[in-house]
Structure 1
Amino acid sequence: MPYRSGAYAFMQGARALLPLTPGVIPFGLVTGVMAIEMGLSPGMAMGMTILFYSGSAQMVALQLLHNGVLPVAIVVTALIINLRFIMYSASLAPHLHHLPRRWTWPLSYLLSDQSYALCTLKLSSGELGPFAHYFYAGTAVTMWLVWQVSVLAGVYLGASIPQDWSLSFAIPLSFLALLIPGLQSRASWCAAAVGGTLAVLAIKLPYNLGLVTASLGGVLAGLVVERLQASSNSASVEGAEGEAQ
């Protein structure tokens, strides 16, 4: 049933994102701690967090900065890591392209793995109705706020966080929580299996290219399986029609 108002859709989006925050907060804390350990001031750390708004790219950029890598190489590396957002944007575009720029530009900046995972299935089903972009905004704004506050807490509380808490262990768990609900077909299961396998095999590639390789491999595998299923279904229908005649 479509949502009855923009405000209601926004609040529902925010509520949908909240259960994912236990996996996001440790990631933000680790990022904040790492920024200070690398020698950044609190102001620089938060400025970088607002500018990047990408935990994986920010952590890699911090490591490269610490190692004295050229700025151009750092920018290129961050762009490579975030190539997955091009695929996300292409998937969301058919549902949001009609919006004016005052909507599309902020929503593009606020795009995250969590927001995309929560919204893509709902957008495809049409259940969000004319207020779909409000639901997306609710998830995106909530995610942005949680991330910024988490990094800020890591910046100022990092030294007092015990190392035996193993906060980094929560990072892959948060992404697993996003992945499992989306596995609803043979194509999606195949994409996840191929992408996961490639991610493990390509983990040692430089500049975090393993992530890009796994993403592209998973997408291609899913598309192949989807097309094979469509061809099989088409052949079955034609066979049934032939027998009926």
Structure 2
Amino acid sequence: MTHTTTLPSTTPASSKKQRRDEFIGGAKATFPLIVGAIPFGIIFGTLAEPSGLSVIGALAMSIIVFAGASQFIVLGLLAADAALPIIIATTFVVNLRHILYAANLVPKVRHLPQRWRILMAFGLTDETFAAVSSRYLQQNDLRNAHWFYLGSFCAMYGNWVLCTAIGVALGELFPDMTQWGLDFAMSVTFIGMVVPYLKNKPMWACVIVAAAMAIATAAMPHKLGLLLAALSGIAVGLSCQMMLVRQSKQHNNKNNKEL
């Protein structure tokens, strides 16, 4: 559950090739997740106009907001003629999960200039977090890791804006696209993001508890159940990890005494 990263005390100037390789690596690592996000983006574009959002408004939202779940929620609230404060408060609650992502990334980006951290904060999505978390787990060298992050962000950002535009165009040609069941691809994508991390008991405990809590709290308003499920999963996973560490120490101490 925890991982210690290292940063060389003397960081040499990174070559263009190293930065380019990291950038391309980030885009490649995110590509499988992009495939699942494509139908999601297209569906958002098709729903925009029926929900009362103009073509320009839909494109501007994807360019400026860049948050799939929040954008879908906004469409639903717009269709229901919800007040602006309600829309802002609801999307704020839904995006609280990004605080958990950011807390995990802080030790890896604190050495970067402010301009980089601002850009990375804007580009933080579920898919990019999954891709860069794998990068940080596999390599301790952080000198060019932010270029890997940038590659992932640019790939996701370009895909989301492009798919929104495609959805807006297709929405006029195929008004019933929302009935095709394309949103199932996004569920498969999120499952694919989690499976590679199921390598030990704490991670299994975390996922099982989070899934159970998400189902149990599905009826909670403003998607608060998702945040509660995430916090519950983290608490259980961390507890399991601490228990395993304690057992390991006790076992080592017992062996040392016997020796």
TM range (shorter): over 0.9
Aligned counterparts of 2:121 and 2:58: Cα–Cα separation in 1: 22
Among residues 144, 168, 186, which one is paired with 2:157 in the alignment?
144
- Counterpart of 1:55 (choices 52, 56, 68) is 68
Decide whether the 8 Å contact of 1:57 with 1:82 is kept in 2.
yes
Alpha-carbon distance in structure 2 between the residues aligned to 1:59 and 1:129: 35
**Whole-Å Cα distance in 2 between the matches of residues 165 and 75 of structure 1?**
30
SS of the equivalent of 1:15 reads: helix
Counterpart residue identity of residue 210, structure 1: G
Kindly state the Cα deviation for residue 125 of structure 1 after the two structures are TM-superposed: 3.6
CA contact (8 A) 2:52 2:78 kept: no
Q: Which residue of 1 aligns with 2:222?
A: 207
1:48-73 residue CA offsets vs partner (Å, 9 max, x unmatched): 22232111111112111221222112
In structure 2, the gaps of 5 or more residues are: 1-13
Q: Which residue of structure 2 lines up, in the alignment, with residue 153 of structure 1? A: 166
2:247 to 223, 226, 232: 232
- Uncovered stretches (5+) of structure 1, i.e. residues with no partner: none
Higher helix proportion: 1
TM-score for the superposition, normalised by structure 1: 0.94
2:53/2:75 contact within 8 Å kept: no
Structure 1 match to 2:122: 109
Amino acid at match of 1:7: R
Kept in 2: contact 1:117–1:182 (CA 8 A)? no
Which of 63, 68, 81 pairs up with 1:68?
Answer: 81
Within a 5 Å distance, the mapping from 1:125-140 to structure 2 comes to 125-127=138-140, 129-140=142-153
- Equivalent in 3, 11, 14 of residue 24 of structure 2: 11
- What is the alpha-carbon distance in structure 1 between the residues aligned to residue 41 and residue 103 of structure 2? 27
Residue 124 of structure 2 aligns to a residue in which SS? coil
Q: Pick from 12, 15, 37 the counterpart of residue 50 of structure 2.
A: 37
Does the aligned pair in 1 maintain the 2:130–2:193 contact within 8 Å? Answer: yes
Q: Provide the TM-score with structure 2 as the length reference.
A: 0.89
1:182 corresponds to 2:197? yes
Q: Please list the CA deviations of residues 160-179 of structure 1 after superposition, one character each: whole Å capped at 9, or x if unmatched.
A: 34645311111101111111
In structure 1, the residue matched to 2:9 is none
The residue type equivalent to 1:70 in the other structure is A
Selected match of 1:221 from 217, 232, 236: 236
Relative to structure 1, the CA distance from residue 148 to residue 128 in structure 2 (aligned partners, 3 Å threshold; closer, same or farther) is farther
Amino acid corresponding to residue 38 of structure 1 in structure 2: S
For residues 26 and 211 of structure 1, the distance between their equivalents in structure 2, rounded to whole angstroms, comes to: 22
Aligned length: 243
Deviations 1:111-169 (A, max 9, x none): 11111111113213435542111111101111111111111111111243464531111
Partners in 1 of 2:173 and 2:208 — Cα distance? Answer: 39
| Partner-residue secondary structure (3-state), 2:168 | helix
- 2: CA distance between counterparts of 1:205 and 1:228? 32
